[in-house]
Amino acid sequence: MLSSINPELFNYIAITFGRFKWQLLAWSLFFFILFMGLQAQIQLKTPSVLVWLAILILFIAIESLVVSAFMFFFQVLPSTREENVSLFKFYRTIEWCETILFTVLLPLPIVLFIYAFIRLAL
């Protein structure tokens, strides 16, 4: 499974869903603003369901931002346009670092929300 994760796969996914990157960025901004508004309304006596709804909105905003950043980073692979061997290797190293980084970052908001829910709500 891990051997199939590479910059070309992420590039293919980013190109396939690239038309949604600006919408995801807008949704992320909307959810951050919504979270700020809900956070201002939360008091000590607020029902826990509403608190968890606000936290869920925050994690959805973070996930939207991460997916949007993923699409921006992998829309074009610089190594595919480079003919100089040393620059190709340099760009390729950067692409692999980004691949490793986004392999960790993409599921992180969901995993953290599930962890927080299990740890605090149950």
The full set of domain ranges for the chain reads 2-121
Pull the structure tokens for residue 5.
């994760």
User: Residue holding tokens 């826990």?
Assistant: 48
Q: Render each residue's pLDDT in the chain as its tens digit; 122 residues.
A: 556 899 999 999 999 999 999 999 999 999 999 999 999 988 888 898 899 999 999 999 999 999 999 999 999 999 999 999 999 999 999 999 999 999 999 999 999 999 999 998 77
Q: Which residues contact 122 (CB under 8 A, 6 or more apart)?
A: none
Q: Which element (helix H / strand E) includes 24?
A: helix 21-41
Question: Which residue in 106, 13, 114 sits closest to 64, CA to CA?
Answer: 106
Global confidence as pTM: 0.88
User: Residue holding tokens 């369901």?
Assistant: 49
